[in-house]
């Protein structure tokens, strides 16, 4: 029973880093860099990321043929 009560205490601190990493990927930035920054500065990192401009997609990805 104690384990079930501990699950939110374990998962809640990981919410903002995962959210920050997901936003970073959608804006063309690196997930792990922003995930780690989200661990240190959870709410502030997400705000900083939302204020940054969107990175452009690399042309090599667009021209890749299988």
Amino acid 2: pLDDT:
76
pTM: 0.70
| Per-residue model confidence as pLDDT tens digits over 15-63 | 889 999 999 998 889 999 999 999 999 889 989 988 988 886 655 555 6
For the chain, the structural domain boundaries read: 2-62
Amino acid 57: pLDDT:
60
Bigger pLDDT: 66 vs 31: 31
3-state per-residue secondary structure call for 32-60: HHHHHHHHHCHHHHHHHHHHCCCCCCCHH
């Amino acid at each position: 029973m104690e384990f079930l009560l501990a699950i939110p205490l374990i998962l809640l601190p990981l919410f903002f880093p995962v959210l920050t990493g997901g936003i970073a990927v959608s804006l063309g930035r690196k997930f792990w860099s922003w995930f780690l920054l989200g661990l240190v500065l959870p709410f502030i990192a997400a705000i900083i990321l939302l204020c940054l401009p969107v990175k452009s997609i690399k042309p090599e990805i667009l021209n890749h043929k299988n």
